[in-house]
Amino acid sequence: MISSRLRLAHSGLVLGALLVLGCGASHSADDGGTDGSAPDARATDSGPTDSGPIDSGVDASLADTGVDATTDAGVRDLCDPEDARVELCPASLCDGPSSWHWDGDHCVEFDCGTCRGSDCGAGSVSLAECQAAHASCDVSLCRDTGGTWAWWLPVCGPYQCGVAPPEDCEVASPSCSCGSSGRFVPGVGCQPDPSCPELPRMPEETLCTSTGGAWGSALCCPTVCGVPCAAACAAPACDCGPRKIFDLDRGCELGQRCLERLLGESCAADARCEDGTICCDSCGGAGCAGTPTCKVPVCSDNPNIDTCGNDSLAA
For residue range 133-154, list pLDDT tens digits in order. 999 999 999 999 999 998 888 8
- Nearest alpha carbon to residue 134 among 78, 84, 61: 78
Mean pLDDT for the chain overall: 76
For 208, the domain range is 204-248
Q: What is the dihedral of CA 55, 60, 64, 70, to 10 degrees?
A: -90
Q: In this predicted model, which residue has the larger pLDDT, 163 or 314?
A: 163
Let me know if residue 165 belongs to a domain: no
The segment with the largest mean pLDDT, out of 36-45, 47-56, 216-225, 286-295, is 216-225
Let me know if residue 123 belongs to a domain: no
- Number of separate domains in the chain: 1
State the pTM of this model: 0.65
Let me know if residue 232 belongs to a domain: yes
State what percent of residues in the chain have pLDDT above 70. Answer: 73
Let me know if residue 220 belongs to a domain: yes
CB atoms within 10 A of CB 66: 19
pLDDT at 203 over 90: yes
What are the C-alpha distances in Å from 30 to residues 123, 154, 262, 268, 286? 32, 17, 19, 8, 17
Let me know if residue 157 belongs to a domain: no
pLDDT at 175 over 50: yes
pLDDT at 260 over 50: yes
Let me know if residue 209 belongs to a domain: yes
Let me know if residue 229 belongs to a domain: yes
Let me know if residue 299 belongs to a domain: no
